[in-house]
Homo-oligomer: A and B are copies of this chain.
Amino acid sequence: MSRLNGPARTNRPAKLIDVARHAGVSTGTVSNVLNHPDKVKEGTSARVMRSIEHLGFVRDTNASSLANGGSHDIGLVVIDLANSIFLDAARGAQSTARAAGLNLLMAGSENDFGVQSSNVDSFIGARVAGLLLAPMQDSSAQIQRLTKRHVPVVLVNYDPGTDHACSVIVDNDAAGYIAARHLIDLGRRRIAFVSVDWDLQPVEQRRHGIRRAVAETDGAVTLEEIVADDLEVGSGNAIARQVAARDAAERPDAVVAVTDNLAVGFIEQAADLGIDVPGDIAVMGTDDNTSAARCRLTLTTVTMQGRQLGAVAMELLMDEIRHGRDEHRHQRVVLTPQLVVQQSTVR
């Protein structure tokens, strides 16, 4: 079998021009069957597709993006995947994106603001069509870099406090309110709020909601604030030891921990020190972290609507991409959290 003037069949991946030659058409036509199928006659199109298949051609998206000034990918930058709310949001965004035929690329930031920033830049470098950003702290510098470059961005689970970008958040104030209300309705009168004194938006807002619920009781219920070293199980243990060391009369009869992990830590240690949960102290978390540590009781908490968070954010982003920044109006969508009652507050 002679191969007169075709290139020797090396192992080199097929390029678009190889497909064109194989199908006996020009590269423009191959590109058209890929990008504008309606511009190509059916027969030609079929022939080209067969060549693509035959040669195992996979288009170089770098060249493609370069040639038409931007990729069709969407980036998702998440501050940390360990917290299940972000993970759920990622999954919600993923399935919404795919349903719309978009490719979602995720980058985790290992809980490091600097890494987050570099992830944002790397997506800028890739000229993504849009970006979903799920931060834990003020990221306006990064948002500015994006908008300057006309990269649509939607904030996930963080209120940017400006109208320069869309955002989808859960009502953390309501989460706090719902939590405190639940304990008050159960007849608890001495609530302790366990959190940290870092400047984290969700913490501030949940605290505010809890205070609001307590204030409504006109002094019938007292609120104590306990500051933990961090948001993890170990700090929950420490707080439990601190509480157990007090006279029984000085102890709270309910604990709202700002994270489920803190709540779990409290419960495990309290049990070991002879405190009955929920008998002596009802305990709950407020972040519905399904990745939280294991616990001897199921934990009452407040759902954070993770999947919906991601799905709605992706929809807002797609709207902005489609309509362009001029016709698009930025929105701020607020989702309402829901109470989940479990064994740690109700026997």
At the interface, yes or no: A221 with Cβ under 8 Å from chain B?
Answer: no
- In the complex where A107-B106, A110-B91 touch, is A148 in contact with B62 (Cβ < 8 A)? no
Contact surface of A with B, Cβ cutoff 8 Å: 11, 13, 56, 58-63, 65-66, 71, 73, 81-82, 84, 87, 90-91, 94-95, 98, 103-108, 110, 115, 121-122, 124-127, 145, 148-150, 290-291, 293-299, 342-343
Nearest-neighbor residue (CB-CB) of A294 within chain B: B298
Contact across chains for A296 and B294 when beta carbons are under 8 A apart: no
Contact across chains for B66 and A11 when beta carbons are under 8 A apart: no
Q: What is the bound-complex CA distance between A89 and B11, given in angstroms?
A: 33
Q: What is the bound-complex CA distance between A108 and B110, given in angstroms?
A: 18
Q: Which residues of B have CB within 8 Å of A82?
A: 87, 91
Q: Which of these, B60, B87, B110, contacts A94 with CB under 8 Å?
A: B110
Contact across chains for B61 and A63 when beta carbons are under 8 A apart: no
Report the minimal beta-carbon distance from A74 to chain B, rounded to whole angstroms. 11
Q: Which residues of B have CB within 8 Å of A58?
A: 121, 124-125, 149
Q: Would you mind naming 24 contact pairs between A and B with Cβ atoms under 8 Å apart?
A: A13-B149, A58-B149, A61-B62, A61-B122, A62-B65, A62-B71, A62-B126, A62-B127, A81-B81, A82-B87, A82-B91, A87-B87, A91-B110, A94-B108, A94-B110, A103-B107, A103-B122, A104-B107, A104-B108, A105-B106, A294-B299, A295-B298, A296-B297, A296-B343
Nearest-neighbor residue (CB-CB) of A71 within chain B: B62
Q: Which residues of B have CB within 8 Å of A291?
A: 84, 87, 290-291
Q: What is the bound-complex CA distance between A63 and B294, given in angstroms?
A: 48
Report the minimal beta-carbon distance from A45 to chain B, rounded to whole angstroms. 20
Report the minimal beta-carbon distance from A93 to chain B, rounded to whole angstroms. 10
Nearest-neighbor residue (CB-CB) of A144 within chain B: B56
Q: Which residues of B have CB within 8 Å of A59?
A: 125
Q: Which residues of B have CB within 8 Å of A60?
A: 66, 125, 127
Nearest-neighbor residue (CB-CB) of A122 within chain B: B103
Contact across chains for A106 and B103 when beta carbons are under 8 A apart: no
Q: Which residues of B have CB within 8 Å of A127?
A: 60-62
Q: Which residues of B have CB within 8 Å of A121?
A: 58
Nearest-neighbor residue (CB-CB) of A295 within chain B: B298
Q: Could you say which of A58, A95, A149 has the most chain B C-beta atoms within 10 Å of its C-beta?
A: A58
Report the minimal beta-carbon distance from A277 to chain B, rounded to whole angstroms. 13
Contact across chains for A294 and B342 when beta carbons are under 8 A apart: yes
Q: Which residues of B have CB within 8 Å of A71?
A: 62
Q: Which residues of B have CB within 8 Å of A343?
A: 296
Q: Which residues of B have CB within 8 Å of A148?
A: 11, 13, 56
Nearest-neighbor residue (CB-CB) of A119 within chain B: B103
Report the minimal beta-carbon distance from A175 to chain B, rounded to whole angstroms. 18
Report the minimal beta-carbon distance from A77 to chain B, rounded to whole angstroms. 11
Nearest-neighbor residue (CB-CB) of A103 within chain B: B122
Q: Which residues of B have CB within 8 Å of A62?
A: 61-63, 65-66, 71, 126-127
Q: Which residues of B have CB within 8 Å of A56?
A: 145, 148
